Structure 1
Amino acid sequence: MASCFTPSAACCSNPPIIGPPYDNKGTFIEVAGAKVYTSSTSPDTPKRALLILYDIFGYSGQILQGADYLAQHFRIFMPDFFDGKPASLSWMPMDGPADEDAMDEFCSGPGGREKTLKKIDELMVQFKQQWPEIESWGIVGYCWGGWIAPYAVGKDTQFKACAMLHPGFPGAKVAEEMSVPVLALCSKDEPESEYADFQPALKVEHEFHHFPKVVHGWMAARGDLSDSEVELDFWRGYELVLKWFQKHL
């Protein structure tokens, strides 16, 4: 069972997209010593919430935009697991050993699995104390976050459903231990061979959807929303996520 995330070839080669500034609807707060983006635009007090694990680039405009969309129906919490120091945009696309070494150090350090899972537990204690009206929780992960999320939904998990967006897939053993319904959205860069061991090992309700026209990261930092086809699949993906959690939370 790997303790360190290994980015895919597409993750290492597709450059992030710097789009126009996004005027986020939520706010940044501090919880358990961590910066957290939280958003809720529902006219009613939400009783359902989503913990969002961003990708290695942190708070991109695209992820904040997607989070605010989900915040129409759920309260959103997106912690800054990297303490303001996400992966450098200059590493992508990777161009030699220096970039590779920097990424390896990042994934084993700020992006380490055990460190992140411990922080999730600490944050969830505080979230539940400060927002006691929330009755059910889901977890969403992008790329790196999509690799972490399966580890957080094993036996005795506090989450009721999981969504993995253009994720890194852990192995079959992790899949076997997942105990909540799982949604996976995959780009053209996540072919079936990427999860040939993972999907068959799942013992829970699950759905896998393919988006063959878009690249890895299209729902996050690599989503070029100036491209009409990408924008269409961006929102189609978030609609699937929304419906998944409306069904399972």
Structure 2
Amino acid sequence: MAQQGYSEACCTIPPVSANYKEKGEYVKIDGLKTYITGPETATTAIILIYDVFGLGPQILQGADILAHASSEHQFRVFIPDFLVGNLADPNWFPPDTMEKRKAMGSYFGPQGPANADKMLSKLLSVVHTLKEEKSVQKLGVVGYCWGAKIVSIASTENTPFGVAVELHPSGLDSADAPKITIPVCMLASRDEDAPTVKAFEDALVVPKLIETYNSAPHGWMTSRGDLEDPKGKADYERGYATVLKFLHQYL
């Protein structure tokens, strides 16, 4: 991989806190409540696509890390509320009953609020608005869990993004991989199916960084991140440092 565009010093993240107060603000972008953090003068934007549990302190802190870790390579980070409050019910997980599976099928299905194709349309509309109203010149995209699937289908030919990141992905499909046309970083947890992750990696034809955090649970970089646990905190910090370094390489 090309090494230009970042330094090791740029990729040292600030201290992580279990009791965190976010640095950014909420505004409306393309009609969606959106968390924004980072220098207003930055012309490179990162869009974060949260998991189906929405905004929480772990992802807000992650956004602030990506936005404020480097004074040399600045990002403006955006987290649109794509689901508009239509979040998944934690009681659906694990989907071990017919009732739970039916509820999830409706939620993610063609008419559901979390349908990936619908979210892709919303994402591209946000991109258009950012370019028109926020003087954004370059873009990266980061997806968590369900959001990682949207990243895959948003990273194909003619994508507006320059780099893609998928974190503890769900809905992973090796058929998506050869269609991706930009560098991709994927950090998987111990709970993702290892053969599926490997098949996806092998099918990629772009620069890539694929790692599995064997001690980390699914969701460790967002809603299930336990920042009061030393190991959970260490995996969270290492994950964001890895993502930051990859973004610096390719944006």
Q: Does TM, normalized by the shorter one, top 0.5?
A: yes
Cα separation, partners in 2 of 1:89 and 1:21, compared to 1, 3 Å: farther
User: 2:9 — aligned with what?
Assistant: none
> What is the number of equivalent residue pairs in this alignment?
228
2:49 pairs with one of 48, 53, 59:
53
1:227 shift after superposition: 0.7
Superposition pairs for residues 200-211 of structure 1, below 5 Å? 200-211=202-213
Q: How many angstroms apart in 2 are the aligned matches of 1:96 and 1:239?
A: 38
User: 2:124 — aligned with what?
Assistant: 121
Pairing 1:141–2:147 present: no
Q: How many angstroms apart in 2 are the aligned matches of 1:98 and 1:208?
A: 35
Scaled by the length of structure 1, the TM-score of the pair is: 0.86
Cα separation, partners in 2 of 1:130 and 1:117, compared to 1, 3 Å: same
SS at match of 1:171: coil
1:212 pairs with one of 184, 189, 214:
214
Q: Which runs of 5+ in 2 are unaligned?
A: 1-16, 69-73
| Letter in structure 2 aligned against 1:61 | P
1:169 shift after superposition: 4.7
Between the aligned residues of both structures, percent identity stands at 36
Cα separation, partners in 2 of 1:191 and 1:92, compared to 1, 3 Å: closer
Pairing 1:33–2:34 present: no
Query: For 1:126-179, what per-residue CA distance to the aligned partner results, in whole angstroms no more than 9, with x for missing partners?
Result: 1111111x2210000001001110100100111000010001253333211100
Cα separation, partners in 2 of 1:20 and 1:235, compared to 1, 3 Å: closer
User: 2:13 — aligned with what?
Assistant: none
Q: Structure 1 residues 68-77 or 157-166, which shifts more?
A: 68-77
1:180 pairs with one of 168, 179, 182:
182
Pairing 1:106–2:102 present: no
CA contact (8 A) 2:62 2:240 kept: yes
CA contact (8 A) 1:169 1:194 kept: no
Scaled by the length of structure 2, the TM-score of the pair is: 0.85
RMSD of aligned alpha carbons = 1.8
User: 2:77 — aligned with what?
Assistant: 76
Superposition pairs for residues 157-168 of structure 1, below 5 Å? 157-168=159-170
CA contact (8 A) 1:169 1:198 kept: no
